[in-house]
């Protein structure tokens, strides 16, 4: 039987290992067997960095958490449904849960949960490579619990569901399969892919919030473009929303951006998906994913920039004109438009806006304008905008030139307001 004690020593800090040993000993004494489970065991076996420690206990986990907090300088940070706890400890926050079984009344429904054994807990998991646990009791410390062939699938680099109806029970696993496959450089096992394709329609039963959460996690992967390409290839995107596509041109644009080492944040990928949409479709996407107001604005702004294409391509558009067109747009939308756009003139303007023009501001401050005699009120803001325009269209403008502009405007205004002489 495999034992991962060596991987634990290698992949975790000394303090983390000591914590797990102490926690395992306390759990054994109280008759509540404790295990490290899921992604942390998978990543230890793969020699990848372990981000979170997830623990599962068989029995009264609430009492165990309280005991661990008292004996190991911890603090219970939160307690949520299904007896899930966050324990703040000197070695980081640790998730702790009761081992449980889950049954699904109907596809997409939240599962009915009952406490159970660690074997039950592993049997409810998404893929064999995540259905792994390691004993933490002193007698068996590090010994692997692998009832579904997870270790073999790690070696074979396969993403495999535990049973034929897994995607029907919970179709978010479709996106999770794509995400793990692309992140780890694995392949979705043949039967699993067949079932995934067969069960795509079950994505309809997934709530907007759960769907958005899994998509966000795809966008937050190191290479979201690989996830999107694979999702497109298996028909996942159009199963989420008819008309949602990832195109070859977007793939190439992202590859170009990677070469230039541009930072591509998650919302840029949402913008890229919006780039290929009609307004109607974009609204449907926002509804299907219950987008936050900022994410929705990225979608809307991307479409607005697309609609502004003729202006962005006009031969006489100045830097300040570009600034005015784009200043209220979200930066992620501008970046998505830059990647999606294939006209060099517009691309150059979008890029210069992102890298230079949006950061330009006048050298004189509002206070300085007041000190120069500008009356308090909307004129201050108006003059600051004029000074920005001056900067944008005449790079290298000096403070003295800005002051000259303000004085001239004050003179002009004074002469406009001066009472006309009686004839």
d(CA 107, CA 111): 9
Site for ligand ATP in 4-63 (CB under 6 A): 38-39, 51-52, 54
Binding residue (CB under 6 A) for ligand ATP from 28, 130, 226, 320: 130
| The pair of three-digit structure tokens given for residue 33, joined into one six-digit string | 């067997």
From residue 86 to residue 125, what is the string marking binding to ligand ATP with x (rule CB under 6 A)?
A: ---------------------------------------x
Min dist CB 7 to ligand ATP, Å, is: 16
- When asked if residue 306 is in the footprint of ligand ATP (CB under 6 A), the reply is no
Do 113 and 98 contact (CB within 8 A), yes or no?
A: no
In sequence order, what E strands does 157-235 have? 158-159, 187-188
Do 195 and 166 contact (CB within 8 A), yes or no?
A: yes
Buried b (16+ CB within 10 A) or exposed e, 29-56: ebebbbbbbbbbbbbbbbeeebeebbbb
Do 237 and 270 contact (CB within 8 A), yes or no?
A: no
In the block, tokens 């780890």 appear at: 184
From residue 311 to residue 350, what is the string marking binding to ligand ATP with x (rule CB under 6 A)?
A: ----------------------------------------
Helices 293-307, 266-275: inter-axial angle, 10-degree rounding: 40
- Report the DSSP beta bridge partners of residue 312: none
Min dist CB 121 to ligand ATP, Å, is: 9
Min dist CB 84 to ligand ATP, Å, is: 11
Binding residue (CB under 6 A) for ligand ATP from 58, 121, 126, 151: 126
Do 314 and 324 contact (CB within 8 A), yes or no?
A: no
Of residues 84 and 313, the one with the C-beta less far from ligand ATP: 84
Of residues 214 and 335, the one with the C-beta less far from ligand ATP: 214
From residue 162 to residue 191, what is the string marking binding to ligand ATP with x (rule CB under 6 A)?
A: --------x-xx------------------
Which chain residues interact with ligand ATP by CB under 6 A? 38-39, 51-52, 54, 125-126, 130, 170, 172-173
């Amino acid at each position: 039987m495999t034992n991962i004690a060596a991987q634990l020593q290698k992949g975790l800090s000394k303090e983390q290992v000591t914590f797990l040993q102490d926690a395992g000993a306390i759990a054994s004494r109280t008759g509540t067997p404790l295990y490290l489970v899921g992604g942390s065991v998978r990543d230890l076996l793969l020699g990848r960095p372990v981000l979170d420690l997830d623990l599962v206990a068989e029995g009264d986990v609430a009492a165990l958490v309280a005991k661990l907090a008292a004996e190991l300088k911890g603090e219970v940070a939160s307690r949520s449904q299904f007896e899930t706890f966050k324990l703040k400890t000197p070695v980081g926050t640790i998730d702790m849960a009761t081992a449980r079984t889950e049954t699904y009344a109907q596809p997409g429904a939240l599962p009915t949960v009952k406490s159970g054994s660690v074997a039950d807990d592993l049997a409810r998991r998404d893929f064999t490579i995540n259905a792994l646990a390691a004993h933490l009791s002193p007698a068996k410390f590090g010994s692997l619990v692998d009832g579904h062939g997870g270790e073999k699938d790690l070696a074979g680099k396969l993403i495999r569901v535990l049973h034929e109806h897994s995607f029907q029970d919970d179709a978010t696993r479709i996106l999770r399969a794509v995400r793990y496959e692309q992140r780890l450089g694995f392949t979705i096992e043949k039967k699993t892919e067949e079932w995934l394709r067969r069960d795509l329609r079950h994505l309809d039963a997934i709530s907007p919030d759960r769907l958005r959460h899994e998509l966000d996690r795809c966008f937050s992967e190191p290479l979201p473009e690989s996830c999107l390409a694979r999702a497109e290839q298996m028909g996942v995107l159009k199963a989420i929303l008819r008309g949602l596509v990832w195109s070859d041109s977007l793939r190439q644009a992202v590859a170009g951006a990677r070469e230039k080492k541009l930072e591509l944040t998650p919302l840029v990928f949402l913008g890229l998906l919006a780039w290929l949409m009609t307004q109607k479709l974009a609204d449907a996407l926002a509804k299907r994913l219950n987008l936050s107001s900022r994410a929705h604005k990225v979608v809307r702004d991307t479409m607005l920039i697309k609609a502004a294409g003729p202006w962005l391509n006009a031969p006489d558009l100045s830097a300040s004109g570009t600034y005015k067109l784009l200043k209220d747009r979200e930066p992620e939308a501008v970046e998505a438009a830059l990647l999606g756009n294939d006209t060099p003139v517009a691309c150059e303007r979008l890029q210069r806006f992102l890298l230079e023009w949006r950061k330009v501001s006048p050298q004189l401050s509002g206070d300085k304008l007041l000190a120069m005699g500008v009356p308090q009120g909307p004129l201050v803001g108006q003059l600051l905008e004029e000074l920005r325009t001056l900067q944008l269209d005449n790079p290298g403008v000096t403070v003295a030139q800005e002051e000259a502009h303000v004085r001239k405007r004050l003179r002009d205004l004074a002469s406009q307001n001066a009472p006309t002489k009686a004839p």
